[in-house]
Structure 1
Amino acid sequence: MTGRTRWGILGTGRVAGRFTEDLRLLPDAEVVAVGSRTHDAAQAFATRHGIGRAHGSWAALAADPEVDVVYVATPHAVHRAAATTCLEAGKAVLCEKPCTLDRATSAELVDLARERGLFLMEAMWTRCNPAVRRMCDLVTEGAIGEVAAVVADFGFAAPPDPADRLRARALGGGALLEMGVYPITIAHLVLGAPAHIRAWAALSGDGVDENTGMVFGYDTGALATLSCGLLGGTPNTASITGTRGRITLPRPCHRPSGLVLDRDGAAPEEIALPFEGNGYQFEAAEVHRCLHEGLVESPLVSHATTLEVMGVLDAIRAQIGVTYP
């Protein structure tokens, strides 16, 4: 690819709108079309965001010859179907997290993308965030010694309506897939996949997790203590403790604008990495880079890491008793 990257937006919800807004921050990005299950919803989104074409079906958006890459921003339960529609039409795909509801169906998407020679990336924006990338660099450089513990959380008071997408079991609702994937990702970034997983959750009457705690054990002896919930606001911070210091990601730790490096024997160092907008532009910029370099997956959000984290989510759901129809 050369020149501008032309985006199609599949979905018309709040996250789709914020992502579209952030694409305006990239001079080489152009939003050319939006698609939804109804033309009215697509047209309303197009009007709101100044997009030239509105398609009344996913297939029509996927068939649009002016679209280079599609951002899938549907509820979790239909990520697989939406991404499959786009890949089968020959489009590159950035699919919102979690990639699908389980590892097996995420692997199906990866296999399809590889068979077609198409780019596919999970939209785990945390892995592309400048402060999080700096955290990873510091850990790799040994700034805090060997990582011994990770503590991270993400929780807020979600609407009590059981039909809301955050609580609807049919849509893949629950704290784990919506928020828990972020603390898990932070732990995975510095410690990899855990050797041992223990989890407990309070479930709603509809069978989705409302308050979930997780402890991971690693062969190095390190521990990760993580939590997520729909019942109230938590600190939404993360700390990575090493044998010679600590790194803290302040609120909101899934998209921080800086970090604090606290080395043993030294004054804490605040490192600011601020950004404009909502923070989605960094994952979009990574998509642009990969497409221009002819890559079918991102080194920052690789297929392997997506599948490893999906496997961890599967193991937790099995322990807490959450299933999806």
Structure 2
Amino acid sequence: MLPSSLPTPRLRDPDSVPVLRWGIVGPGWIAERFVKSLRENTRQQIVAVASRSRERAADFARTWSIPGAFGDVQEMLALDRLDAVYVATPHNHHYPDALKVIEAGKHVLIEKPLALNAREAADLGERARARNLLCMEAMWCDFLPKYDVLSQLLADGALGDVHSLIADHGEHFTIDHRIFNPDLAGGPMLDLGSYLVGLSVKVAGKPKKVIAIGQPAPGGRVNGQTSMLFEHGNGMHAVLNTTLFSNTPCAATIAGRDATLVLPGPFYNPGPFTLTASDGSRTLTFEDPKNRYDQLYHEAIHFAWCVGEGLRESPIRPLQATLDTLSTMDEVRRQIGVRFNEERD
């Protein structure tokens, strides 16, 4: 039954969580936005940055007034004044870089996807638990106010029995972009597809049946387009498409017996959504400023809260949610014949 109003986002005050001393591994595009968001919205401290290039680390440190810059991750991890590390390297470096962080005894927040596949992700989780450390995937959309309201609506059964999820995520990239590089685990699945599969798992759990078809990008070095049909245990069907060939609406629709929820594109970004009763009698609208990556700080605040509470699993993004997403993507890739270089060894 449609509620009289939408739930209020359950936001944690950034000043109420412990101030962690953060290191950054991988001073790239997303790391810049992560640091900017933390600086503008939190008291979290960025104390060091590491890159395979000392010069690049130094440039990043100068730009963001970070006191420590290192050309080797191990040098940074030797710092005593370091509580947590944000890993923002290319996808196929997440696992080895996170291993170093865990072995150094630091909590680790890893850009999505946590690893290339479910096997690597499970290993990171086991190693972190053995050392009593928090290892969390930075699936940033899960921590947004918009997604919290969505979670509350699903938990309350506001949509009734959910039968259909339809979503797409397509972007145009120039051929020199890293997403076309097989040496960096290129193709759309780990980048764009993570959001699609993650949403489907969030709404209805791990699918019990997966059907996928793929199409290679020009030159055949990476996958260029994948379409997926999932059947979930609750009977929901998810129809998903991701492509590197062109821009698509990047919208999502979650249709239930009692109401339909529509997230305009990009569905995983901050922004509005509508919830409309199936008989058309009422529509509720969630408003949120479209400030995109300015809201990255929500994941860091939740991470710091987990550390302060002594939690080694995030209640918002537990390891099992990551494993369910990655194992589903593993099956998609198996069906379309995509294996990353590291998986061939």
Query: TM bucket by the smaller chain?
Result: over 0.9
**Contact 1:135–1:259 at 8 Å: present in 2 too?**
no
SS in 2 for 1:60: helix
Given the alignment of the two structures, is residue 104 of structure 1 paired with residue 119 of structure 2, yes or no? yes
What is the distance in 1 between the residues matched to 2:51 and 2:266? 30
1:33 corresponds in structure 2 to 48
Count of matched residue positions in the alignment of Structure 1 and Structure 2: 323
The 1:145–1:3 alpha-carbon spacing in structure 2 relative to 1, beyond 3 Å, is closer
Aligned with 2:323 (options 282, 289, 307): 307
CA distance in 2, matches of 1:250, 1:287: 28
Aligned to 1:282: 298
Counterpart Cα distance in 1 of 2:181 and 2:45:
33
State the distance in 2 between where 1:271 and 1:183 align: 21
1:233 aligns with 2:244: no
Q: For residues 150-299 of structure 1, what are the structure 2 equivalents within 5 Å?
A: 150-161=165-176, 164-204=177-217, 205-265=219-279, 266-274=281-289, 278=293, 279-299=295-315
Match among 68, 78, 81 for residue 96 of structure 2: 81
Deviation, 1:256, is 2.8
Provide the identity percentage. 35
Deviations 1:191-240 (A, max 9, x none): 00001000111113343211110000123321000111111111011110
In structure 1, how many angstroms separate the alpha carbons of the residues matched to 2:172 and 2:78?
39
Q: Could you list the structure 1 runs, at least 4 aligned residues long, displaced by more than 4 angstroms after superposition.
A: none
- Residue 277 of structure 1 and its aligned partner are, at CA, apart by 6.0
* Secondary structure of 1:24's aligned partner: helix
**1:324: Cα distance to partner?**
1.0
Q: Is the 8 A contact 1:143 1:263 kept in 2?
A: no
Local SS of the residue matching 2:41? coil
Letter in 2 for 1:283: E
Residue in structure 1 matching 2:58, options 31, 34, 43: 43
Q: Which moved more, 1:12-21 or 1:250-259?
A: 250-259
| Residues 63-86 of structure 1: CA deviation (Å, up to 9, x unaligned) | 221111100000001111100011
- Indicate which of 56, 61, 65 corresponds to 2:71: 56
Q: Which amino acid aligns with 2:305?
A: R
Aligned to 2:215, the other structure's residue is in SS state strand
Aligned residue for 1:159, secondary structure, equals coil
Q: Is the 8 A contact 2:186 2:222 kept in 1?
A: yes
Q: For 1:119 and 1:30, how far apart are their aligned partners in 2?
A: 18
1:156, distance to aligned residue in structure 2 (A): 0.5
Distance 1:177 1:277 in 2: 20
Output the TM-score relative to the length of structure 1: 0.96
What's the C-alpha RMSD, in Å, of the aligned pairs?
A: 1.5
TM-superposed CA distance for 1:267, in Å, is 2.7
3-state DSSP of counterpart to 1:280: helix
C-alpha separation between the residues in 1 aligned to 2:307 and 2:301?
A: 10
Q: 1:93-172 to 2 correspondence within 5 Å? A: 93-161=108-176, 164-172=177-185
Among candidates 17, 32, 56, match of residue 32 of structure 2: 17
1:74-129 per-residue CA deviation (whole Å, 9 max, x = no partner) reads 00011111000111001100001111111111111111101111110011111111
In structure 2, how many angstroms separate the alpha carbons of the residues matched to 1:95 and 1:149?
31
Q: Which amino acid aligns with 2:173?
A: A
5+ residue gaps, structure 1, are none
AA aligned to 2:329 is L
C-alpha displacement at 1:276, in angstroms? 5.1
TM-score by length of 2: 0.90
More displaced stretch, 173-182 vs 249-258:
249-258
CA contact (8 A) 1:207 1:322 kept: no
Corresponding residue SS for 2:178 = coil
CA contact (8 A) 2:269 2:292 kept: no
Contact 2:48 2:66 in 1 (8 A): yes
Aligned counterpart, 1:317: 333
What is the CA–CA distance in structure 2 between the aligned matches of 1:219 and 1:3, rounded to whole Å?
Answer: 39
